[in-house]
Amino acid sequence: MASLVGSRVERKEDKRFLTGKGRYTADINLANQTYAIFVRSPHARASIKKLNIDKALKSSGVVSILTGKEIADDKIGGLIAGWAIRSEDGTEMKCPGNPPLAKDNVNFVGDPVAVVIAESLAEAKEAAEKVEVDYKVLKAVTSTADAMNGDTIHEGIDKNLCFDWLLGDRQKVKEAFDKADKVISIDIINNRLIPNAMEPRACVADYNAASEEITLYTTSQNPHLSRLIMSAFGNVAPEHKLRVVAPDVGGGFGSKINVYNEDIVCSWAAKKINRAIKWVAERSESFLTDIHGRDHVTHAELAVTKDGKFLGFKNETIANLGAYARVFGTVTPTYLFGPCATGVYEIPAAYTNVKAVYTNTAPVDAYRGAGRPEATYTIERLVEKASMELGIDKTELRIKNFPTAFPFKQTLVHTVDSGDYVAGMEKAKQMADYKGFEARRKESEAKGKLRGIGVTSYFEACGIAPSAAVMSLGCGVGLWESAEVRFNPTGQVTVYTGSHSHGQSHQTTFAQIAADELGVPIENIDIVHGDTDKGTFGMGTYGSRSLAVGGIAIVNACKKIVEKGKRVTAKMLEANPEDVEFKDGEFIVSKSNKKKTIGEVAFACYLPGVRDEMKSPLPEGDEPGLKETSFYDPSNFSFPAGTHIAEVEIDPETGHVKLEKYTACDDFGRIINPMVVEGQVHGGLAQGIGQALYENAEYDETGQLMTGSYMDYTMPRADNFPEFNIGYTCTHATTNPLGVKGCGEAGAIAAPPTVMNAVIDALGGQEVTMPATAEKVWKACKNLKKSNAKAA
Amino acid sequence: MKDFNYHSAKDSKEASKLASSSSAFLAGGMTTIPSMKLGLATYKDLIDIKNIKKLSGIKVSGKSVTIGAATKHVEVSNSKDVKKAIPSLSSLAEGIGDPQVRNRGTIGGSIANNDPSADYPSACIALNATIHTNERKIEAVKFFKGMFETALKKGELIEAIEFQIPEKSSYQKHPNPASRYAIVGVYVAKHKGDVNVAVTGAKSCVYNDKEMSKALSGNFSSSSIDGMDLDSSEMNTDMHASAEFRASLVVTQAKKAVDAC
Ligand SMILES: Cc1cc2nc3c(=O)[nH]c(=O)nc-3n(C[C@H](O)[C@H](O)[C@H](O)COP(=O)(O)OP(=O)(O)OC[C@H]3O[C@@H](n4cnc5c(N)ncnc54)[C@H](O)[C@@H]3O)c2cc1C
């Protein structure tokens, strides 16, 4: 049987999605359901003086209106930060309460203060307009850079500072800088982004008064984790009385990790009114209340020798958490950021200091790449600047500082098991025709255009993560993953995974893995996920962990099946278990022609006895049935890496930046399905290029979101991109049996600095902030013209 | 969205009879429906005009192209007749929004709405259009009054837009990257007598730039407007572009248009 791992197996999920048979949360309608509309704060910061629902209650079709008071009276818990981060001085981080419905204060535009539940959506909307809230509007804090100087948002949290965290050794860094020939420094902004999953968030909550069970259908990347949080912290229901189902989910990018206000409120309210409640976000609500991403202000410095050896690195960052600290809000700008900020380089001394601040804006949390795009942007912009200032070719300067041997003990935290950064660089240069760039630059110049080339070499730490490691860093849970492999008596297989697919194609790639491990045709394998009542526990999908953690759990569970199969075969064929080999779905007694197929073995496991032809007594000590479980805890993160190269052409008269060429040469370890990986790379690149050239979440000084719709928030479109030139170097990970590393976030991590390095190269080294919009670039072109004229 | 009455008018007469101070005509609905959904507008009556046969279609005579008000953008962009007579008009239509918008949005709706960054108003000015309504004929220069404001009276229905065929013309848009409306769009048309340089997106309403028109009427070459320093004091500033940038874009797009003629 040919191996399926490594081949372009067509996606099993496509038929359903392409024929309109997907089943998303908004597709779910329950008998006698009601509709919820949330009344949200129109102010970024205010105290609630009075909330009057009398008029609204009289509105037609209203079933119930609940506010922050009721939810507090019922002792329903608030939303939480999942990681406890300590400041440099040893103090614990400071987190404000975040009730699901605000009672006393609102802290960003969109913060919910009440829920209106009615017989129809139109009636709920109409009634919601009649809820009267008397706000005392307070001065909002919106700027990341100035947040520490603003009014105190949350009582008792001085300077709006959640923590002031340090990773690394300041003294060693100082010594390194003292020895440097040159210090390169940079001030950069990592712009705030809105995730914009195609499917807006939604939930349908149902309560069964007889079983006292709440069922919540919700747009989640991690239903078990959501259940745990809602139960342990939200006090909504004990875990065994709360079922969370995340059916088909149309994109997450991190924005659907969190348990949101609406999940808690609808679950709690469904029990209160003893009816099902449905809520579906409108797009404008998604803009306002989905978690946002990035939003860093950074000053960084690199100490170098004159021949280009890196000696030391400093990174001083202010990270905006938004109004509240959420599940991955505090780890994203710390342990997912700091360790990666030294990039793929040997830098003997380094530190990262992060001040995480609260502002009156939507909460900021993990968004595709989470911390690693910010880290990569910092170091790669700095290295590119160093190459300009030192006059050393940008690719050679990088190669000069690559580690030469693996495992590579990185300066701050990680030990990178495997990689070949030089090979990746060389291949990328060839793919991009790096040598031919100067000729292309001249051609552009002849047309009156400016052309630039930009390079990024990145590594990232994903496949999160060893439980012991993350728990020691403050994580509130372990980040293992589970799988259960279940055979039917007639030989088909159901694989339950704790990972969740919201676009990642698990139904296909996981089936490919199981098919290879078990020798069962892929058509006979079903992948089941997304329902706390079906699978064992699962930690969910984020941090490019599904394959490197969830996939390995499947492999391990399959291996246990094979082990049992060997014992059963040995008993049936009167051989020694040690003499039974398993290959392509057959258990063969070595040096004989005696064998059993895995289907026969499965059947035997369910009919453990002897009758007529059927002779399948089970070996002593083995129970009937064929089902195995694995809880896999990885021994390390995994470390994808690669080099990306971009070329842009700029029209100096309009400032328009055209991305002409984009080359991505990535090392994802072993590739299970090249087509799926291409899809992941394309999507990541689109988001990364979007950050560099188009996307920006902008608040005005009163905290109103200026980019609250697609009329103003630029989602990139297909015609914004060139044909992507994609290649791989595949050095297998040594820390897991598949040798896989993870590919979900790489594009979003590498693309922003790659594109910006190209833009800045075209602009003669002038700094522009992301997104490099026409007007900013036009201004830089004017400056360039002026300074060129002066020089001439 | 609040409840409303839906009417489908069979002719112009019925449509204008149904109109009141709390009604709107429903053409493509691309502006009307979203504003109702967002609660920015409420109407008691929506009067659908798409089924009025007379309002759809494209006619080309020796001197002019006449387009029915309910003709969709996609029909204009695909029309061989328009492509032949005024290619720039067809490419303007092709550059509006996205396919979904072009498949529903209409030329009449676009100019009745007179969004300061819409594309068609510039075509009307540059191509000396005449707006035919159920009551009268209005010259384009007198039709566009100000931001979202036109010469239309309550219940007055645009039936067709008649464009004069120029010797040469080109429309060059610098789109808003998000919405793809014009940050600045410049429509240059060279007629027998003179040159029009119609600008949209830059100010609160479309206008004919007299300075550039004059320069180009004298010498129809981009060099005659190169480096022109336009007064930006009345130009729009928003998060996508400052007045200063818009002023520069107007000249740049005008030059591009002349070069493309
Ligand atoms: C996402 C999006 C992107 C867009 N991008 C662009 C763009 O790039 N460039 C651009 O120019 N436009 C753009 N538009 C606008 C679009 O092209 C439509 O032309 C515009 O929305 C109005 O046309 P409609 O036929 O949909 O009118 P409707 O929404 O049906 O009506 C709009 C108004 O016009 C009135 N009206 C309609 N027809 C007549 C008539 N015959 N006589 C009198 N009054 C009438 C109605 O009463 C109503 O007040 C965009 C729209 C959207 C939604």
Q: What is the pLDDT of residues A480-534, one digit of tens each?
A: 999 999 999 999 999 999 999 999 999 999 999 999 999 999 999 999 999 999 9
How many residues are given for chain A?
792
Query: Which runs of consecutive H residues, i.e. helices, occur in A111-168?
Result: 121-128
Mean pLDDT of A557-581: 96
Query: Alpha-carbon distance A686 to A727, whole Å?
Result: 17
**Average pLDDT value over all residues in chain A:** 97
Query: Alpha-carbon distance A427 to A440, whole Å?
Result: 20
Query: How far apart are the CA of B239 and the nearest CA of chain A, in angstroms?
Result: 8
Nearest residue of chain B to residue A777 (CA atoms): B245
Q: Kindly state whether A633 is in contact with chain B, defined as any CB-CB distance less than 8 angstroms.
A: no
Considering only CA atoms, which residue is closest to atom 2 of ligand 1?
B97
**What residue has token string 């910092």?**
A378
Residue A1 is predicted with a pLDDT of 64
All residues of chain A having their beta carbon less than 8 Å from the beta carbon of residue B178 are 694, 707, 710-715
Q: Kindly state whether B258 is in contact with chain A, defined as any CB-CB distance less than 8 angstroms.
A: no
Q: Kindly state whether B179 is in contact with chain A, defined as any CB-CB distance less than 8 angstroms.
A: yes
Tokens of A590: 């070595």
For ligand 1, whether the C-beta of B179 sits within 6 Å is yes
Q: Do the domain assignments include residue A386?
A: no
Asked if residues A269 and A36 have their Cβ atoms less than 8 Å apart, the reply is: yes
Nearest residue of chain B to residue A283 (CA atoms): B38
Q: How far is the CA of B246 from the centre of ligand 1 (A)?
A: 24
Interchain CB distance below 8 Å, A775 and B178: no
Residue A613 is predicted with a pLDDT of 80
Domain residue extents for chain B: 5-164, 169-260
All residues of chain B having their beta carbon less than 8 Å from the beta carbon of residue A770 are none
Tokens of A574: 């009167």
Does the ipTM surpass 0.85? yes
Q: Do the domain assignments include residue A370?
A: no
Interchain CB distance below 8 Å, A706 and B248: no
B17-75 pLDDT, tens per residue? 999 999 999 999 999 999 999 889 999 999 999 999 999 999 999 999 999 999 999 99
Interchain CB distance below 8 Å, B245 and A774: yes
Residue A433 CA, chain-centre distance (Å), reads 32
Nearest residue of chain B to residue A653 (CA atoms): B252
State the SS3 of A540-598.
CCCCCCHHHHHHHHHHHHHHHHHHHHHHHHHHHCCCCHHHEEEECCEEEECCCCCEEEH
Q: Do the domain assignments include residue A448?
A: yes
Same structural domain, A649 and A622: no
Q: What is the DSSP string of A704-735?
A: -BS--STTTS----GGG---EEEEE--PPPSS
Same structural domain, A503 and A617: yes
> ω into residue A407 within 30 of 0, thus cis?
yes
Query: Which runs of consecutive H residues, i.e. helices, occur in A93-218?
Result: 121-128, 170-178
Q: How far is the CA of B30 from the centre of ligand 1 (A)?
A: 5
Q: How far is the CA of A102 from the centre of ligand 1 (A)?
A: 40
Count structural domains, chain A. 3
Q: Percent of chain A, pLDDT > 70?
A: 100
Element containing residue B58 per DSSP (H, E): strand B58-60
**What residue has token string 């022609």?**
A593
Asked if residues A393 and A354 have their Cβ atoms less than 8 Å apart, the reply is: no
**What residue has token string 């005659």?**
B224
Same structural domain, A522 and A473: no
Cα–Cα nearest to A625, from A577, A579, A560, A575: A560
Query: Alpha-carbon distance A757 to A753, whole Å?
Result: 6
Same structural domain, A589 and A454: no
A585-639 pLDDT, tens per residue? 999 999 999 999 999 999 999 999 888 887 888 999 999 999 999 999 999 999 9
Which one is the CATH code of B5-164: 3.30.465.10, 3.40.228.10, 1.10.3300.10, 3.40.1390.20?
A: 3.30.465.10
How many residues are given for chain B?
261
What beta strand segments (E) does A633-751 contain? 641-651, 656-667, 724-728
Element containing residue A262 per DSSP (H, E): helix A261-273
Same structural domain, A525 and A610: yes
Say which CATH number the domain at A645 has. Answer: 3.30.365.10
Mutate to test the interface with B, among A775, A778, A781 (most CBs of B within 10 A): A775
Interchain CB distance below 8 Å, B177 and A774: yes
Mean pLDDT of A560-585: 96
Query: Alpha-carbon distance A256 to A291, whole Å?
Result: 8
Residue A791 is predicted with a pLDDT of 85
Element containing residue A61 per DSSP (H, E): none
For ligand 1, whether the C-beta of B27 sits within 6 Å is yes
Same structural domain, A486 and A458: no
Cα–Cα nearest to A32, from A264, A275, A388: A275
Tokens of A30: 């329950």
Residue A614 is predicted with a pLDDT of 79
**What's the one-letter identity of residue A589?**
V
For ligand 1, whether the C-beta of B30 sits within 6 Å is yes
Same structural domain, A447 and A490: no
A633 contact partners, CB below 8 Å, separation of at least 6:
A466, A467, A468, A478, A479, A480
Residue B39 is predicted with a pLDDT of 87
Is 90 exceeded by the pLDDT of residue A738?
Answer: yes
Tokens of A450: 């400016």
**What residue has token string 């290029």?**
A689
Interchain CB distance below 8 Å, A711 and B178: yes
Residue A106 is predicted with a pLDDT of 98
Note the CATH architecture for domain B169-260: 2-Layer Sandwich (3.30)
Mutate to test the interface with B, among A699, A712, A769, A770 (most CBs of B within 10 A): A712
Chain A from 338 to 357: CB within 8 A of any B CB = none
When pLDDT is cut at 50, 70 and 90, the band that residue A179 belongs to is very high
**Average pLDDT value over all residues in chain B:** 96
Structural domain ending residue among the three candidates A632, A667, A684:
A632
Mean pLDDT of A13-34: 96
For ligand 1, whether the C-beta of B101 sits within 6 Å is yes
What is the residue range of A244's domain?
14-20+32-140+196-289
Instruction: List the single residue in B38, B179, B241 with the smallest CB-CB distance to A775.
Output: B241
For ligand 1, whether the C-beta of B123 sits within 6 Å is no
Residue A203 three-state SS: strand
Mutate to test the interface with A, among B184, B235, B239, B251 (most CBs of A within 10 A): B239
Q: Do the domain assignments include residue A671?
A: yes
Q: Do the domain assignments include residue A620?
A: yes
Q: Would you tell me how many other CB atoms lie within 10 Å of the CB of residue A119?
A: 16
**What residue has token string 């610098």?**
B174
Residue A377 three-state SS: helix
Interchain CB distance below 8 Å, A713 and B245: no
Q: How far is the CA of A704 from the centre of ligand 1 (A)?
A: 27
Q: How far is the CA of A452 from the centre of ligand 1 (A)?
A: 40
Is 90 exceeded by the pLDDT of residue A2?
Answer: no
A780 contact partners, CB below 8 Å, separation of at least 6:
A655, A763, A766, A768
Residue B1 is predicted with a pLDDT of 74
A632 contact partners, CB below 8 Å, separation of at least 6:
A480, A481, A482, A483, A549, A550, A552, A553, A556
Alpha carbon distances (Å) from A402 to A15, A391, A779 = 45, 18, 36
Question: Ligand 1 atom closest to Cα of B24?
Answer: 47
Mean pLDDT of A10-19: 95
Is 70 exceeded by the pLDDT of residue A173?
Answer: yes
Q: Percent of chain B, pLDDT > 70?
A: 100
B27 contact partners, CB below 8 Å, separation of at least 6:
B49, B50, B69, B70, B105, B106, B108, B109, B112
Mean pLDDT of A251-269: 98
Q: How far is the CA of A712 from the centre of ligand 1 (A)?
A: 18
User: Helix A746-762 to helix A674-693 angle, to the nearest 10 degrees?
Assistant: 40
Query: Alpha-carbon distance B203 to B213, whole Å?
Result: 17
Query: How far apart are the CA of B144 and the nearest CA of chain A, in angstroms?
Result: 23
Same structural domain, A529 and A460: no
Q: Kindly state whether A313 is in contact with chain B, defined as any CB-CB distance less than 8 angstroms.
A: no
Range scoring the smallest mean pLDDT among A1-10, A207-216, A293-302, A747-756:
A1-10
Cα–Cα nearest to A672, from A514, A538, A540: A514
Same structural domain, A442 and A570: no
Structural domain ending residue among the three candidates A247, A271, A289:
A289
Mutate to test the interface with A, among B37, B40, B249, B253 (most CBs of A within 10 A): B249
Q: Would you tell me how many other CB atoms lie within 10 Å of the CB of residue A565?
A: 27
Q: Percent of chain B, pLDDT > 90?
A: 97
